[in-house]
Amino acid sequence: MPWIELALKGAYVYELELIKDNRGFFARTFFDQDLAEMKLNPHIEQCNISYNNQKGTLRGMHYQVAPATEVKQVRCTQGAIYDVIIDMRPGSPTFLQHVGVELSAENHRVLYVPEMFAHGYQTLTDDAEVFYMVSQSYAPQYARGLRYNDPALKIEWPLPVTVISPKDEAAPDYSPEKE
């Protein structure tokens, strides 16, 4: 699989290698040896699906702190999303910087999200479905969130937000005192 490192060290997008024939295609979406060779975390403990009815739906920005930090591998299996990650690693040269990537059923991209990166996305289509492979089980006591429109983060979402959970809407702005 071709891996492309993003501007935030340790974050990657990889494109599935499609083996096509008259039936359609076949593709390997995960191979732990690829990750191990790149010195990335290959462990998967939990898999999740989120389905989103409406274009403009926003989910995020979520992450977990130690001892429950998690790696995510995210793929849009139906429709399209704009996926954003924020480097929350203290001491990182890209701390609080973010990058956005379009993931879609058409482009077959997978986003590798390292530990201590906040993650969220906005749907670009109705009926968008997202599949996550996660290295750690959800641990609510270690779960953290940031407000999707925190002025300090300057994330430019492609669409107006049409649907957001009360929890995500009420997430705090970044504050160094909370770290």
Compute the distance between CA of residue 1 and CA of residue 37 in angstroms, rounded to an integer. Answer: 13
What is the pLDDT at residue 120? 98
Distance between terminal CA atoms of the chain?
Answer: 36
Q: Is 65 helix (H, G, I), strand (E, B) or coil?
A: coil
| CATH number of the domain encompassing residue 142 | 2.60.120.10
> Is 132 tagged catalytic?
yes
Residue among 118, 110, 103 nearest 8 (CA): 118
How many domains is the chain built from? 1
> For residue 29, is it within any domain?
yes
> Is 119 tagged catalytic?
no
> For residue 125, is it within any domain?
yes
> For residue 177, is it within any domain?
no
What is the pLDDT at residue 1? 61
Amino acid of residue 171: A
Catalytic-role residue among 12, 14, 62, 148: 62
> For residue 33, is it within any domain?
yes
> For residue 23, is it within any domain?
yes
| Series of mean pLDDT values for 10-residue runs along the chain (179 residues) | 90 92 89 84 94 98 97 98 97 97 97 98 98 96 97 97 97 80
What is the pLDDT at residue 177? 65
> For residue 88, is it within any domain?
yes
Print the domain residue range for 82: 3-172
> For residue 178, is it within any domain?
no
What is the pLDDT at residue 126? 98
DSSP conformational letter for 178: G
Catalytic-role residue among 12, 82, 132, 148: 132
